[in-house]
Amino acid sequence: MFAKTFKQMGINVKFINSDNLEDFENAVTDKTKCIYTETIGNPRIKVADIEGLAGIAHKYGIPLVVDNTVATPYLCRPIEFGADIVVHSTTKYLSGHGNAMGGVIVDSGKFDWNQNDKFKMFTTPDESYHGIIYADEFKEAAFIAKARAHLVRDLGCCQSPFNAYLTILGLETLHVRMDRHCENALILAKYLESHPHINFVIYPNLVSSPDYKLAQKYLKKGASSLLGFGVDGDGTKFIEALKLFIHATNLGDVRSIITYPAGTTHRQLSDEQKIQAGITNDYMRASVGLENIDDIKEDIENAIKISRT
């Protein structure tokens, strides 16, 4: 969407592939309208320095928007670190059972849309809505009022009642599920780290992770269910041998799910783009579910054996 669809709409997105905050700051121009990040990026499972990014955004009078889908509000509350707007796909952990699609926008109400002339949608009259000026009329709720009054009306992006019902039902167990996701993922990460036929493991809460310090700051209760690893064997054989893990492109389901980015989600990228996104041919991305950890380990162990035959 950022690379293709937005471009057709005249919105240009610069992708900053760096751990260095200066690279983000150097990319900001007079035209920049916001900085956008995921708390835990997919598929290479990187942790964002939310406070650092918020500092840069605010220095240039633009909001920081955080996609907090993978952390969920149970593990991280980005607004407390300076984020202005937080979005979630509720399709994932918030509903939790892979049965309902949806999304939410959380407006912190802290961003001042009047501080410069970059945000005319909020600071000039909306002809399609009684000529109101959202920043004046709704003050701190300007962004979310615009989204609801104008854009939901025009674009029709509202949820079906049954999906809302399933989402609310799932939400009641979020805290219990997230604890188990984090516990299972960390045990599996440590297990794979010492495995002779695993090339590498990516999990932010491993002490060996380059993101460990960021995880200690932003993800105190745990680092969620996403776990990456490289299999020293045939990738397709590995995927096909798994019995407990479901091979699907979803995440945040109570059931363990695995994707093989080089063979599926990222297959359309050129080799160069794949390398840039950190997608090697041995790379597997798991969303570790709530099953018994011994069953999870046994499934992986069996698939590793078959991948090497």
Ligand X SMILES: *Cc1c(COP(=O)(O)O)cnc(C)c1O
Residue 16 or 248 having the CB closest to ligand X: 248
Q: How far is the CB of 89 from ligand X (least distance, A)?
A: 3
Separation between Cα atoms, residue 103 and residue 92, nearest integer Å: 9
Q: Which residue is nearest to ligand X (CB)?
A: 89
Cα Rg of the chain, angstroms: 21
* Minimum CB distance to ligand X smaller for 61 or for 103: 103
Nearer to ligand X, 85 or 304 (CB): 85
Alpha helices, DSSP H, located in the chain? 5-8, 21-27, 50-59, 72-75, 120-123, 134-137, 142-146, 153-155, 161-171, 174-193, 212-218, 235-241, 271-276, 293-307
Q: Which is nearer to ligand X, 251 or 286 (CB)?
A: 251
Q: Please give the Cα distance from 203 to 206 (Å, whole number).
A: 6
CB nearer ligand X, residue 91 or residue 225: 91
Query: Among 45, 309, 61, which residue's Cα sits nearest to residue 202?
Result: 45
Q: Which residues bind ligand X (CB under 6 A)?
A: 38, 42, 67, 69-70, 89, 91-92, 101, 103, 251
- The residue (of 73 and 103) whose beta carbon lies closer to ligand X is 103
Strands annotated E in 187-282: 198-202, 226-231, 246-247, 257-259
Minimum CB separation from ligand X for residue 49, in Å?
17
Give which of 64, 108, 109, 68 is closest to 88, Cα–Cα.
68
Is 218 in contact with 50 (CB distance < 8 Å)?
A: yes
Closest to 48 (Cα-Cα) out of 79, 18, 80: 18
Token digits of residue 81: 């670190």
Closest to ligand X by CB, 42 vs 209, is: 42
Min separation Cβ 285 and ligand X, Å: 11
Least Å from the CB of residue 86 to ligand X: 12
Which of 60, 59, 55, 61 has the alpha carbon at shortest distance from 115? Answer: 61
The smaller minimum CB distance to ligand X, of residues 65 and 142, is found at: 65
Give just the sign of the alpha carbon dihedral 194, 195, 199, 200.
negative
CA atoms within 13 A on the CB side of 273: 10
Smallest distance, Å, CB 97 to ligand X?
14
| Nearest distance from C-beta of residue 120 to ligand X, angstroms | 27
Minimum Å gap between C-beta 88 and ligand X is 8
Shortest Å, Cβ 59 to ligand X: 26
Query: Which residue type occupies 284?
Result: M
